[in-house]
Amino acid sequence: MSASVAVGSGAGVLLGPAVLPRVSNWQTMCATLSVVGWVAFAFAAILVMVPKPTLPMPAAPPDGVSDATLFKRALVSPLTLIGVVVTFMASWGMQCLFSLTSTFLAADKPVGVGYGAMTAGKLMLGITLLAGILGPLVCGVLLDRVFKGNAKVVFLIGFALMCVFVYGLTTPAVTGNILVLEPVLILAGFGVQFVFPTLYYFIAKAYAPQVVGKMSGIWMGIGTFGGVLGLYIAGVTVKSQDSYHTTLVLQSLAALVGFLLVFGLAAAQKSTQVQQEAAAVK
């Protein structure tokens, strides 16, 4: 799923500049590219109308409680609280990396790096295409084949990549050399693409099947505000300081907080599993 999103994003990045010279203005370009959205709408409508496969009966709760009670227990558990904060930090890093990095690279010095819009766009392809497509695939291999379902390790790798390589963007030694800058951007993008697929995997494994959908919505819905806050703070600091340094440091710190919280998340999951097993024995 994550790789498919990256393919669509990359196609948009490439098609926009390709279509614009062939039409009269940017409004016509947007109207032309909107055909893709209408095609997606048509496929979604078909998907709604086609017959659905028969789903297996959900497993009964281990202690016989209702689905509503399961949801209430999950909602107030430490696992959910820590998980929402982890998602908050991950969203902060993702939204800022994808939304601000191109303007940081394009902006004239001393505010940004000074590469200009065209070069910045080409550099961002490493994040949107290479990391965006390969990252989720590599994440799946690591999660299933290498670490045998141990989400904690993949979380730690992802947050570590985000923390180290986003902070690297604050140093002239990295931003001043395109041969160094592009791998740094790609590795930061890999960090994001390791964390988010693992979040969905972790939620599916940590909760009872009856509440997985609701808990996914809560984690991702509330966690998305991390991206909102990150972008807001970035706008304030860039305007007041004429520099992206502070927002890059804060992105790195958000990833560091996420890295540390993963240990608490793993402990909370283990505690929840112990409680469920004890309830099943009773």
Domain ranges of the chain: 1-51, 66-281
* Structural contact between residues 100 and 113, judged by C-beta atoms closer than 8 angstroms: no
Highest mean pLDDT out of 51-60, 136-145, 198-207, 248-257: 248-257
Q: Rounded to two decimals, what is the model's pTM?
A: 0.83
Would you say 79 and 218 are in contact if contact means Cβ atoms under 8 Å apart? no
Q: For the stretch 178-202, what's the b/e string if a residue is b when 16 or more beta carbons lie within 10 angstroms of its beta carbon?
A: eeebbebbbbbbbbbbbbbbbbebb
Per-residue pLDDT at 9: 66
pLDDT band, residue 281 (cuts 50/70/90): very low
- DSSP H or E run through 151: helix 151-168
Q: What angle do CA 32, 36, 37 make, to 5 degrees?
A: 105
The predicted structure's pLDDT at residue 176 = 93
Q: Indicate whether 37 pLDDT > 90.
A: no
Distance CA 250, CA 5 (A): 26
Q: What is the mean pLDDT of residues 258-262?
A: 97
Of the candidate ranges 2-6, 30-34, 66-70, 192-196, the one whose mean pLDDT is the lowest:
2-6
Dist. CA 121–CA 258, nearest whole Å:
28
In the chain, what percentage of residues exceed pLDDT 90? 55
pLDDT surpassing 50 at residue 158: yes
C-alpha distances in Å from residue 251, one per residue of 3, 65, 266:
23, 42, 23
**Which tens digit of pLDDT belongs to each residue from 117-154?**
888 888 888 888 888 888 989 999 999 999 999 999 99
CA dist., res. 196 & res. 132, Å (int): 11
| Mean local confidence (pLDDT), 79-101 | 94
Residues of 34-45 as b/e, b for ≥16 C-beta within 10 angstroms? eeeeeeeeeeee
What pLDDT, on the 0 to 100 scale, is given for residue 190? 95
- pLDDT for residue 233: 95
Is the pLDDT at 226 greater than 50? The verdict is: yes
**CB of 109 closer than 8 Å to CB of 95:** no
pLDDT in tens, 46-85: 988 888 776 555 555 555 667 788 888 889 899 999 999 9
Which CATH fold would you assign to the domain 66-281?
Answer: Growth Hormone; Chain: A; (1.20.1250)
User: What is the Cα–Cα distance from 5 to 189, expressed in whole angstroms?
Assistant: 14
Give the torsion sign (CA, 200, 206, 208, 214).
Answer: negative
- Nearest Cα neighbor of 20 from 117, 128, 129 is 117
Residue 14 binned pLDDT confidence (cut-offs 50, 70, 90): low
